[in-house]
Amino acid sequence: MKTPIISPSILSADFANLGEEVQDIDAAGADWIHVDVMDGHFVPNLTIGPAVIKALRGHTQKPFDVHLMISPVDRYVEAFVDAGADILTVHGEAGPHLHRTLQLIRSFGIKAGVALNPATPWQSVEPVIHDLDLILVMSVNPGYGGQKFIRSQLDKISALRGLIDGCEVDVTLEVDGGVNAQTAVDVLSAGADALVAGTAVFQGGPECYAGNIEALRGAANA
Ligand code: DX5
Ligand code: ZN
């Protein structure tokens, strides 16, 4: 199996020390930095906005993989682009005009992603498969870190792998929620390219980050 992209979610980092945490996961081998943006409306929790992302931009050269759990989304896209996002992923469930949102994101020259909630069918991305760069399968209900992996999402991951390969499109298949060294084995055999992990990367503190990231990568050879 090919080596997965590892995108640690800073939702599990020490928020009082975010700049250093981002530097630490960069040094520990993170490929991307996953940033969870929540609005207290589309999801029950509230996290961070563009100002914090902008402040973190100087702490790493790694791509910012920004997961927007906000609704409406279009009016904030430019602010996240200006803050330094490299990938902006939106929820198809967050608004009525997904195609327009993807076009808007791509118009700024960055990558556009679509996230699917656990109850959202994989077929919902079929009509926009040529208009996106990344699909994010949520294997928990969005809103909080530390939840249990929902196994029924494995079939969705396989179906999306088939769709991406069948259409011969350059789309990254990423999985988010409850991913650890054990669940990653099934996620990767189902066909994922990229793993988001909060708890599994940040557990144990900075001296464990490199080993935690390596354990996730190693799931590809299990
Ligand atoms: C949930 C977020 C995830 C979450 C992952 O809404 O999108 O990125 O923080 O955390 P763990 O790995 O702890 O499930
Ligand atoms: Zn996320």
Distances (CA, A) of 100 to 95, 97, 114, 128, 184: 10, 5, 12, 10, 33
Q: How far is the CA of 189 from the centre of ligand 2 (A)?
A: 21
User: What band does 1 get if pLDDT is binned at 50, 70 and 90?
Assistant: confident
Predicted local confidence at residue 192, as pLDDT: 98
pLDDT in tens, 165-209: 999 999 999 999 999 999 999 999 999 999 999 999 999 999 999
Q: How far is the CA of 103 from the centre of ligand 1 (A)?
A: 26
Choices 3.90.1150.10, 3.20.20.70, 2.70.70.10, 1.10.3720.10: CATH for 5-221: 3.20.20.70
pLDDT in tens, 109-157: 999 999 999 999 999 999 999 999 999 999 999 999 999 999 999 999 9
31 counts as catalytic: no
Average predicted confidence (pLDDT) for the chain:
98
Domain limits, the chain: 5-221
Q: What gap in Å lies between CA 101 and CA 56, rounded to an integer? A: 25
Structure tokens at 220: 């590809």
pLDDT in tens, 71-122: 999 999 999 999 999 999 999 999 899 999 999 999 999 999 999 999 999 9
Record the pTM. Answer: 0.98
